[in-house]
Amino acid sequence: MSAARRILIIGYGNPGRGDDGLGPALAAMVEREGIDGVIVHEDYQLTVESAQDVAQSEMVIFADASMDEAGRFSIVPILPVPSPQFDSHSLSPGTVLYLALTLFGAKPEAYLVSIRGYEFDRFGESLSKKAEANLAAAAKRVFALLSESVSSL
Amino acid sequence: MSKTKVIEIEPLTRVEGHGKVSIHLDDNNQVHDARLHIVEFRGFERFIRGRPYWEAPMIVQRLCGICPVSHNLAAAKAMDQIVGAPRLTPTAEKIRRLTHYGQIMQSHVLHFFHLCAPDLLFGFDADASMRNVFALINLKPDLAMQAVRMRKFGQEVIRATSGKKIHGACAIPGGVNKNLSIPERDALLKDMDQMKKWAQGALVIARDYTLENLSMIERFATFSSSYLALVREDGALDLYHGALRAMDGGGNLIFDQADYRNYGDFIMEEVKPWSYMKFPFIKMRGRIDGWYRVGPLARLNCSGYIDTPEAAKALVEFKSLTGGRPNHMTLAYHWARMVEVIHCVEKIGELLNDPDLQGEDLAVKGDRAEEGIGVIEAPRGTLIHHYRVDENDLITYCNLIVSTTNNNEAINRAITSVAKSHLSGAPRITDGMLNHIEVAVRAYDPCLSCATHALGQMPLIVEVFDTSGVLIESRTREK
């Protein structure tokens, strides 16, 4: 496995639906930095084939919008978990990890970045002001995490 | 006056997006009606007004994260007319076809193996803990793996022709953004033999399931209907381009070779107060009898033949089941879907060996027009995009009839049929019964997606109301 395949960031959500685009927005910020060893994917949602990409990585960061009112963002380690229900529209990061484990025998270190959004019901390519601020705060922490992880590889 | 109670299933599981089913029972617990309620993106048609026309093929991808390619292509076909490009360059048309076949293949594979296979393998009445993809992985890990890899292949076809998932786009007004490089082609070609083999295996599974369970399938949401699909000039299946053909339940043509730019002469849309989704119908047959089905079953019923060898053989076998007459079995959608997977894989193989894909002539323009209508056969059925543009290049009108909307009445009838068979008179509603309803809906592979999601959403809620609106029973199944 080459070093360039080691860290994968998957930002998912629909940028056409306001703050639902927070995940892809974070992915775009990381991509612009062009960090060696970091692969960036963006998608509308997590799907089964994401498991194959995850299985080829040593560390994975999932980034998504959140409606959780607890904070502006969170970064938590996550493990493979089979969801009781499964559909292609709302595959969870834990389910993707579970598929990577059961189908490909891979269990990368994984984190979920949840960024608080506020406006999900409008069509539009822009983020709300509050979501933009949350994105900036989350990105700072993600870059720190990436910096530690890249230097340790 | 008899009392009616209403059972609501919300959201449906293992369908794309989410909707709600309400089942109306009378005093004796007999089903007399069932309805599918969907939150659809009607706001989009207003949102896009005032935007430059060339943005449309890109923006419409945001409509649905499930099939962005379909919306990109349908919008681009409409915009081809706006920019005066009735005929694309060979490279542009073939690149568009390639991405379209990749999209349909990966969509069908995911639906069959990961959304429907648990029902087919374990039975509709099986415990919910068994009726999911994880049980499939445990029982048949090779199949689950094949599905992921076939899906991945289809996505790689899309990536090669479109660039990035979200910020890329294959089609633009009058052509395409890029051709296919030799390295991109070769990367795909190396997997072709494997894809063909797996597609054949999937077809065998779907066919054998249908034949081995025929007596059940003939009774499960089977009803006569009309069918609508694009077909080629010679009547062959064509998923990307053609003219409209509609046939009635007896196989008689209602219209044929209808120019889709005149779709308004053939199809009308009705609005009903209890659903956000429109109810289209064939104009000459009227509101009551004019409803129809679209999608894989409709396409095979409407098509005279298929122009790739393995799919052609599969179509002959499919049609022989009903003696060449239209197949009305809702669950035959699965078999039809796998016939189309074979066709798509064969088409991808043909195209990858075509040097036109490396051509440099990507887009054309001609005389500017003010109106454009694009139609394609999306994975779930006929998809119509209609736009008008003013002299400042801004969109002034947009009308979309998406595939699931075309199947709206048919899905409602399927639900009603199954509810009458399995829920009427039952002392209580079981998970297995509810799943029968969902199996009927899932067969159409409806996309109820609003393309929006956020963490922590979408539990399954079942609510029972009496006629006065009082909640008498509520059950929640967390996703």
Q: Could you read off the pLDDT of B103-119 as tens digits, one per residue?
A: 999 999 988 988 888 88
Verify whether the Cβ–Cβ distance A68 to B456 is below 8 Å.
yes
pLDDT on residue B453: 33
Q: State how far residue A92 is from chain B, nearest Cα, in angstroms.
A: 8
Whether A51 and B148 lie within 8 Å, measured CB to CB = yes
Cβ contacts (< 8 Å) between B111 and chain A: which residues? 88
Nearest to B455 among A68, A85, A99 (CB): A68
Domain count, chain A: 1
Contacts of A89 in chain B (CB under 8 A): 16-18, 65-66, 449, 453
Query: Which token pair is B406?
Result: 């075309």
A76, A45 contact by CB (below 8 A):
no
Determine the structural domain holding residue B234 and report its residue range: 223-328
Q: Do B68 and A14 touch (CB under 8 A)?
A: no
Query: Which residue of chain B has the CA closest to A90?
Result: B453
Across the interface, of B14, B129, B454, the residue whose CB is closest to A66 is B454
Query: Among A24, A87, A99, whose Cβ lies nearest the Cβ of B166?
Result: A24
User: Which two three-digit tokens encode residue B159?
Assistant: 């990536």
Question: Has residue A81 got a pLDDT over 50?
Answer: yes
Residues 76-115 of B with CB under 8 A from A: 106, 110-111, 114-115
Q: Does the beta-carbon distance from B151 to A102 stay under 8 Å?
A: no
Residue linked to tokens 């089913």: B21
Span A11-38, average pLDDT = 91
Q: Which residues of A fall within a CB distance of 8 Å from B456?
A: 66-68
Q: Residue A1 pLDDT > 70, yes or no?
A: no
Which stretches of B320-448 are assigned E, i.e. beta strand?
A: 371-378, 381-389, 395-401, 447-448
- CA trace torsion B335, B337, B340, B344 (10° rounding): -130
* The last residue of a domain, from among B290, B305, B328: B328
Q: How far is B145 from chain A (nearest CA, A)?
A: 6
| Domain at A49, CATH number | 3.40.50.1450
- Low pLDDT (below 50) residues in chain B: 1-2, 11-17, 449-466, 468-470, 472, 474-479
Nearest to B148 among A43, A84, A103 (CB): A103
* The predicted structure's pLDDT at residue B479: 39
Helical (H) or strand (E) element with A7: strand A7-12
Instruction: Name the strand (E) or helix (H) holding B317.
Output: helix B309-320
Does residue B214 belong to any structural domain of this protein?
no
| Contact in structure between B383 and B408 (CB atoms under 8 Å) | no
Averaged pLDDT for residues A96-118: 94
- Checking phi first, is residue B324 left (phi over 0); if not, alpha (psi -120 to 50) or beta? left
Judge whether A118 and A130 are in contact, CB under 8 Å: yes
Of A24, A85, A120, the CB nearest to B454: A120
pLDDT of residue B116: 85
Residues 6+ apart with CB under 8 A from A139: A26, A29, A30
Contact check, Cβ <8 Å, B166/A43? yes
CA distance B51 to A65: 26
pLDDT in tens, A45-73: 888 889 999 999 999 999 999 988 788 99
CA of B139 vs chain A CAs: smallest distance (Å): 12
Shortest distance between the Cα of A42 and any Cα of chain B, in A, equals 6
Domains in chain B, number: 2
Residue B286 CA to residue B281 CA, distance in Å, equals 7
Q: Do residue A67 and residue B454 have CB atoms under 8 angstroms apart? A: yes
Question: Which residues pair with residue B187 across a beta bridge?
Answer: none
Neighbours of B468 (CB within 10 A): 6
The pLDDT assigned to B328 comes to: 98
Are A123 and B43 in contact (CB < 8 Å)? Answer: yes
The DSSP secondary-structure symbol of B178 reads: -
Q: Indicate whether B312 belongs to any domain.
A: yes
Tell whether A84 is within 8 A of chain B (Cβ).
Answer: yes
pLDDT level of residue A85 (50, 70, 90 thresholds): low
Domain that holds residue A68: 3-152
Per-residue pLDDT at B274: 64
The secondary structure of A58-86 as a DSSP string is SEEEEEEEE--TT-SEEEEE------SS-
